[in-house]
Amino acid sequence: MSELLAMADDDGRERWASLALGYTETRGLPALREAIAATYSAAQADDVLCFAGAEEAIYLAMRTLLEPTDHAVVLTPNYQAAETIPLSVCEVTGVALRPGDGWALDVDAIAAALRPNTRLVSVNFPNNPTGALPSPDAWSRLVQLCDERGIILFSDEVYRGLEADPLPQATDLSGTAISLNVMSKAYGLPGLRIGWVVCRDRTVLDRLERAKHYTTICNAGPSEVLALIALRARDRILERNRGVVARNLPMFEEFFGRYPELFEFTAPDGGCVCYPRYLGADGVESMCAELVEHAGVLLLPASIYSSELTTTPTDRFRVGLGRSGPDEALAVWSDWLEKRR
């Protein structure tokens, strides 16, 4: 908290010092929405709607924009809510990223999955759990496909900001696309519980704003001011967090390189998570369970990212590169592996 407050400008310090703990505006603090809009090339403050984190935004978008007679397309592997919430509303078809091709986005497969009643296509890049990014050509083709078919592109971009070569954000490419982001991931501030969607179709934002009155009504005032301070210091915060990932990556590459018989590791295209393959005979579920039980090192095995929509790899695990000082955990993990040899 003290580190973040030290980054505040004069306006931010005054807002924090004079903050009243009453209800706030449902759409979000105007100055905060202006700061969010400034992170896009084609958005204005009125195109922004704030939420209590990304999960509320996902929930309300899927429950509000989809009807039981609709159809949706969702990429796999994914963050669980990306498929379970639309599945609770309507028919959903999954389209898998191609693991044998660097988790490539298959736009032709998405096109083949579309139906006359397809209302929404949901994607997540940089992808959780793989860290994959589509090629610029594939990304442009997907946006164009959704525009031509009158389909909403829901683009979860919560890990955006840590990649070296970022793609254009969906809402900057399409007037009907929805871009989702949050203070939790690239900014490293999950305790603020501030997320948002940006969409230049104001009728969509109006529907979501009305739905928000049935969940959180408004965001917490202290969190909004702190998020405003962070966004105004965006360059410093993202530079710092990119530096953490850059320093950590060689440690992970060296670690996995010591055990070529056990792991296949590829660095993420973007974000701070990746999805290595485990080659051990005991299987990834057993390895992860024993590692946390006996050594206290937590990994997320493939079962966490299984899907009802498509087959998903069963020999993978998610690991994060975004925390400072992973050398201790890597040393404990290495000792555990050596004892098993």
Answer yes or no: do 215 and 296 share one domain: no
Q: How many of the other CB atoms lie within 10 Å of CB of 170? A: 26
Q: Using the 3D structure, point to which of 187, 217, 235 is the last residue of a domain.
A: 235
CATH of the domain at 142: 3.40.640.10
Q: What is the secondary structure of 64-116 as a DSSP string?
A: HH--TT-EEEEEES--THHHHHHHTTSEEEEEE-BGGGTSB--HHHHHHH--T
Answer yes or no: do 64 and 209 share one domain: yes
**Is residue 57 within 8 Å of 106, Cβ to Cβ?**
no
pTM for the model stands at 0.96
Return the amino acid letter for 138: A
d(CA 124, CA 73): 12
Local structure of residue 166 (DSSP, 8 states): P
Span 229-266, pLDDT tens digits: 999 999 999 999 999 999 999 999 999 999 999 999 99
Tell which residue, 73, 42, 54, 57, has the closest CA to residue 168: 42
Q: Using the 3D structure, point to which of 217, 235, 253 is the last residue of a domain.
A: 235
Answer yes or no: do 72 and 220 share one domain: yes
Residue 239: partners with Cβ closer than 8 Å, 6 or more residues away = none
Answer yes or no: do 249 and 210 share one domain: no
Q: What is the pLDDT along the chain (341 residues), one digit of tens a residue?
A: 999 999 999 999 999 999 999 999 999 999 999 999 999 999 999 999 999 999 999 999 999 999 999 999 999 999 999 999 999 999 999 999 999 999 999 999 999 999 999 999 999 999 999 999 999 999 999 999 999 999 999 999 999 999 988 999 999 999 999 999 999 999 999 999 999 999 999 999 999 999 999 999 999 999 999 999 999 999 999 999 999 999 999 999 999 999 999 999 999 999 999 999 999 999 999 999 999 999 999 999 999 999 999 999 999 999 999 999 999 999 999 999 999 88
Answer yes or no: do 132 and 168 share one domain: yes
Separation of first and last alpha carbons in the chain: 44
Tell which residue, 159, 134, 174, 157, has the closest CA to residue 43: 174
Residue 211: partners with Cβ closer than 8 Å, 6 or more residues away = 60, 63, 64
Span 156-195, pLDDT tens digits: 999 999 998 899 999 999 999 999 999 999 999 999 999 9
The conformational region for residue 103 under phi > 0 = left, psi -120 to 50 = alpha, else beta, is left
**Is residue 334 within 8 Å of 326, Cβ to Cβ?**
no
Q: How many domains does the chain have?
A: 2
Q: Using the 3D structure, point to which of 207, 235, 263 is the last residue of a domain.
A: 235
Answer yes or no: do 115 and 58 share one domain: yes
Domain that holds residue 310: 236-340
SS3 label, residue 119:
strand
